[in-house]
Every structure is written in C-alpha cells, then in structure tokens.
Structure 1
Amino acid sequence: MSTNYATIARNGIWDNNVVFGQLLALCPLLAVTGTATNGLGMGLASTAVMVGSGLAVSLLRKVITPEIRIPAFVLLIATLVTVVDLAMNAWLHDLHKMLGLFIPLIVTNCAILGRAEAFASRQSPLASAFDGLMMGIGFTLALVLLGAVREILGSGTLFANASLLLGPRFGFLELTVFPDYQGFLLMILPPGGFIVLGFLLALKALVDSRSRAGTATPANPQVEKVFTAAGVLSRDRQPGE
C-alpha cells in the first residue's frame, strides 16, 4: 500500500492539527504559552515523543497483542517522556524548570496516544515516524503562534530569554517589538490564552471556508440536463407546483 506523505504532512500541520483541528492538549497549550520561547520548548519536546512513539509502536505492532495494546502504548510513551524529561533537565535545565510539571504530563497528551492507535499501529515505521514529525510540527507551530501573540500583546517582546532557556544559539530570536511598552497582563494569564485561541480558531475556520468556496466543483451541465429532462430541475415550473 502506497503512502501519501504530502497528505500526511497537510493533515499534521493544517487539516488535522492537534490544536486547531482536534482541540487536544489544551492544558499545556494555555499554561506554558505565556511566551513563544516556552511554546517552542514544549513543542520540540512533544515532537520528539511523537516521533519516537510512532516509530516504536509501528515496529512493535505485530508483537503487541490487541488486548493489551493501549497499556503497552502508554508504557512506550511514558518511557520516551521520561527520557526527554531527563535530557531536558541535563542540557536545558532553565527551560526544564520553567516548563516544570508539564513535561511529564506529555504522557497524558491524547494526541500522542491517538496517533499511536489510529496510525502507527497500522502503518510502516517510516510513515509512522513521519506522521509523528508532522503532528509534532503542527503542534509546535500552534504553541509558538499562540505564545507569540500573547507575548507581543502582553509584554511587547518576542522569544524573550530564548538564549537563557534554549541556549546561546537561540539568542538571535529575541526581539523587542514595542519598546517602552507597559504590557497587558491579561494576555499573559490563562484567560488571555483562551481569548487568543478563540480568535485563532475563528481565523482558521475562515481560511478553510474560503478555501472550500474557492475549490467548489461547478455543477456538471450534463447531470443537470438529465435531471431537468426528468422534471426534477424543471425551470418552467411555477412556485407551488
């Protein structure tokens, strides 16, 4: 069976996006996206787990029996999350402290278990790893976008403390968008996250609706002619007939 990697990529990044398409992982989404830096860190950690879990589940799908597949998938995901947690504590300690409990809580991310059950357990290892990567990228983009909007409106900066949390190589990301900005506290707090998320969901729905309207298939004149001849679409009918 051939694998359409373009469709997998589109589903993960846009059509079936973890946040904007499935409305999953809202707890870490709203809790850690006070800044774009935190969103990027959480997104990268989640992506690593998604890729690893997809690959592991696909490799073991013929070994794991259907009766114990869910506990086995959770065990695999928990193992990967533990590895990511320890790695971040060792090499990205400041970011690890900032994200805190939300790194271990990646285990409870329904999107990861859902992709393991719906995709990785039925597909090849390469396709499963790619699906995890695209889902992770889509999730990371949602986290960074939400964090960026909240950070800009809340404090007038973008990717603040990136060099401290992610390492000196990420220092180029730090920007001051509005100098001498007094800040808007609501945007940094969880209620601000709900507000921004609502606007972003509405924006995606608007883009999708216009895209569907632009690609709508015009009526087939031959089909219309057949129905007209049968009296179904008779243009000579009067109202009430």
Structure 2
Amino acid sequence: MSEPVYKRVVLKLSGEALSGQAGYGIDAGMITTVAEQVQDVVELGVEVAVVVGGGNIWRGISGSAKGIDRATADYMGMLATVMNALALQDGLEKIGVPTRVQTSINMQQVAEPYIRRRAIRHLEKGRVVIFAGGTGNPYFSTDTTAALRAAEIEAEVILMAKNKVDGVYSADPFKDANAEKYERLTFLEVLNKGLGVMDSTASSLCMDNNIPLIVFSITEQGNIKRAVLGEKIGTVVQGSV
C-alpha cells in the first residue's frame, strides 16, 4: 500500500519511549528516531497530533506512593510531559517539520495554550501538534488525554507506540514465555481481561467515540508509517472485531 488509510491521527508516546534503552531521562538518539518516523508520515500528507507521557522523568502515581499528595504528584507529572514535548518539538524542527506544542496548563513563554480550533488549524496547515500537560487535571492519565484529544480533533485512529513490546499480550512476554500476542481485540475484551493496554477511562472513551487503537513497537524504524498505510502490525483494538 502506498496511500495512507488515515488522514488525521493521534500518536501516543509514553515517556519511556523517549528514554531509549536507559529507561529514564530523554535520549537524543531516540528523539531523532521518533522525529524521523513522524516526518515520514507527514510527508504522506497525514495530519499528526502527538500526546506524550512523562514517565521517563516523573510518574505521578509513584510519587503519590512515596507520600506526596496525589494531586501535587500528578501536576508534577504534567510538567514532565511538557519537557518531553519541547524535546520532541526541537527534534522535529531540526529536520524541517513545523511543530507546535500546546499545553493544558498555561505557560505562554514556552508553548501555546490548548485551544481545540487552533490545534485543528495547525493540523490543516501541515504542522505537527504536540499536546502536553495531560488533560490539565490530576487523576487522569496521558492515555486518557490521547483518547480525549483524539475525540476533540476528530482523529481517525490512535497509534500507541510502545518502547518494549510490539503489541498486546495475554501476559507480560518478558516474564511468561507462553504469553499470547493478540492481533485484534475489542475494548470490552481489554477491560474484561484487564490487559492494561490503556486505563479504563481511556478505553471507555475510545469505545464510546468509536476510535480504534493500534498498539505497536516504536523501536522498529518505519512502524508509524506502516500503521498509517494500513499494514498489519501490532495489535488493533476497536469497538467490535
């Protein structure tokens, strides 16, 4: 296939996906790898929005477990996503891809505030839009942010790029040699089996708004483009099989 099957997509990147093999911090090589893959998709004429996590810098739920107030810990995590978004913006613009960062928490010196209509206009002009700061509310994950933003900008699919796995498995493939990789699932199966693809709020939001999800590995060069072209990679999660 040479023509993309989607016109507008949301790419969900975990913070860990930007940390490379180290598992923490921001890896410059991984930023370049992701930026080049996004560039390949933009050159196909696809409108790309990105939602970044912050787990490579700070994870709110872990901070809460250490005694920090949960809301405070979550706000700290939102700030971590902004750091990742700025790093990715820098990587994209270094290779000539116009990019805008929009945050759900106002910080006008470094990024635009999230405004839905402005985000859509940027996409229509061929710019990549990176959504940072989560939803702007504690207790909500960046998975939920991806589902919410996808619904708001009317994206056709969420591309969930993973750092260590190439799809959804019945168990942790690094701990269970008998773990089965799924090719297709419904959101109800994800919820009922407790597969942990995304949290229940995000899964329900995708299911209610009929937004399919493709889970695949970011570490293999060209996988984002393959997903956009409709090639069979990773695991597809949708409302019905």
Q: Which of the two has greater helix per residue?
A: 1
- For normalisation by structure 1, the TM-score amounts to 0.27
Higher-RCO chain (CA-CA 8 Å, sequence separation at least 6): 1
